[in-house]
Structure 1
Amino acid sequence: MTTSTSQQELFQFLEDRFACAQACTECARACALRASLVAPDGTEEQELLRRKGIMCAEVCDATCRVLCEESHLDEAGIRVQLEWCRSVCLECAQVLDRHAGAEDAAKACRECAQACTDFMATLH
């Protein structure tokens, strides 16, 4: 049995969507964990790290929900969500780069940003 081109495109689209959602989940987990390790009464730089980590975790979580649920957003709405997620992840990665021990979280942020970019390329 041969799969038609449109079915193959649909399967690829769904795989790409799932890969992006999975990257968002990993980033949210890594950022939430990293933010939880920062003392709330720390320095200004530590507070920035904590706030960026929390924000990144929340945006990634929201993006994952948009990608995993049958939402009423059209492709333009999904694109806006993906661009927001990509932007927040890159900002968070820059902050994480300045902190020892935050390499894994920074890597997760960059991988999520790339997954968002890759998935946006599949949208028409």
Structure 2
Amino acid sequence: MTSPAQRQLYRFLEDRFTCAQACAECARACAVHASLLDPDGKEPHERVRRLGIMCAEVCDATCRTLCEQNGRDEDGIRAQLEWCRSVCVECARAFDGQPGAGSAAADCRACAAACADFMAALD
């Protein structure tokens, strides 16, 4: 039988893994979608492409932070999660107007939700 403290730790680790997995999926989707946009330098395509690349980089960094974090630097984790959440929301909104970007926008929203959920687990 597991103690309440063990269950809390397991839940924390599951939430952390779920968030890292969502970040990895979002990074992949954003990188793929950004590479499909014609880099013609014209708005809004160039802005969306850059935002997709930035989102992929932020999600990748967040995933690495969650996977490699040895200590519990909650302030640092929380700041990274909030940054990721806000970039994902902005990217999802930008992808909404792009043809064929529905799944990438959904991955961005799922990642933003996972970041928010994990931040709540830190409380």
Judge same fold: TM > 0.5, yes or no: yes
1:8/1:49 CA distance change after superposition, 3 Å = same
TM-score normalized by the length of structure 1? 0.95
Q: Deviations over 1:9-50 (max 9, x none)?
A: 000000000000000000000000000001212521110110
* Residue in structure 2 matched with residue 90 of structure 1 by the alignment: 89
SS of 2:44's equivalent in the other structure is helix
Query: When the two structures are superposed, what TM-score results if normalisation uses the length of structure 2?
Result: 0.96
Count of residues in Structure 1 that have an aligned counterpart in Structure 2: 123
Who is 2:121 aligned against?
122
Structure 2 residue runs of 5 or longer lacking an equivalent are none
Match in the other structure for 1:6? 5
How far did 1:72 drift?
Answer: 5.2
Matches of 2:70 and 2:92, distance apart in 1: 28
Aligned to 1:48: 47
Amino acid at match of 1:80: A
In 2, distance between residues paired with 1:33 and 1:10?
A: 35
Q: In structure 2, what residue type is equivalent to 1:58?
A: E
Which runs of 5 or more residues in structure 1 are unaligned? none
Q: How does 1:15-30 map to 2 (within 5 A)?
A: 15-30=14-29
RMSD between superposed Cα atoms in Å? 1.1
Instruction: Give me the whole-angstrom Cα distance separating, in 2, the residues matched to 1:95 and 1:109.
Output: 10
SS of corresponding position for 1:44: coil
| Superposed structure 1 runs of 4+ greater than 4 Å apart | none
Measured after TM superposition, the shift of residue 70 of structure 1 is: 2.6
Overall identity of the aligned pairs, in %: 66
CA distance in 2, matches of 1:90, 1:105: 11
